[in-house]
Chains A and B, each alone.
Chain A
Amino acid sequence: GAVVSQHPSWVICKSGTSVKIECRSLDFQATTMFWYRQFPKQSLMLMATSNEGSKATYEQGVEKDKFLINHASLTLSTLTVTSAHPEDSSFYICRPVNPTYEQYFGPGTRLTVT
């Protein structure tokens, strides 16, 4: 089946620093990438949608200047959390859109901001 990777799998950073999360689709090319986050005991929430070569579209309440998304190629998208704060601590998950109906998520990145 399709394989999606994320790096790093977990990261701890200090408040005010920036963290970059990479998402790669290894078996297919994805023109569209979704980024989700999940807070403890809550559902997955869509943060933004990115299309290769164009600007990302952010969901209401998600700051585009804080969560920078770059979808530079059909197999790589990055999410950068800028000036991270403790309330940004969450589990971030990517989902490159697979041309087939079976949709696969990345394994997720646990971000802890101290």
Chain B
Amino acid sequence: DQQVKQNSPSLSVQEGRISILNCDYTNSMFDYFLWYKKYPAEGPTFLISISSIKDKNEDGRFTVFLNKSAKHLSLHIVPSQPGDSAVYFCAANSGGGADGLTFGKGTHLIIQP
């Protein structure tokens, strides 16, 4: 059973517009959520995180929203830039960063000029 789900395998957005990537989870024990960006043949790069005590965290062009009641989080990128084209993974764990992360399958974001 997949505990972290990213239901959109790919997303195409025009440059300058907002990109919204969604993630759902089923394990109510998760208390920390992270977004990673990954280019082919490279390790994931940490983007932004949020703990379950918050519902929003912002860092530059990236904002993560958490809706605990719906077990849903989203990553907003605005404005989208060509360099944002990559695969984005949503990850979750419990007990802070010391536990193994559970990843979604990723969403391939394509920014069109």
Q: A residues bordering B, Cβ < 8 Å?
A: 4, 6, 10, 32, 34, 42-46, 49, 91, 93, 95, 97-98, 100-108, 110
Q: B residues bordering A, Cβ < 8 Å?
A: 32, 34, 36, 41-46, 49, 51, 89, 96-98, 100-101, 103-106
Pairwise interchain contact B98-A97, C-beta atoms closer than 8 A: yes
* Minimum CB distance partner of B47 in chain A: A102
B43 in complex: contacting residue of A42, A97, A106, CB < 8 Å: A106
Pairwise interchain contact A32-B44, C-beta atoms closer than 8 A: no
- With the chains together, A98 CA to B103 CA distance in Å? 18
Q: List 8 A-B contacts (CB under 8 A).
A: A34-B100, A44-B101, A102-B46, A102-B97, A107-B42, A108-B41, A108-B43, A110-B41
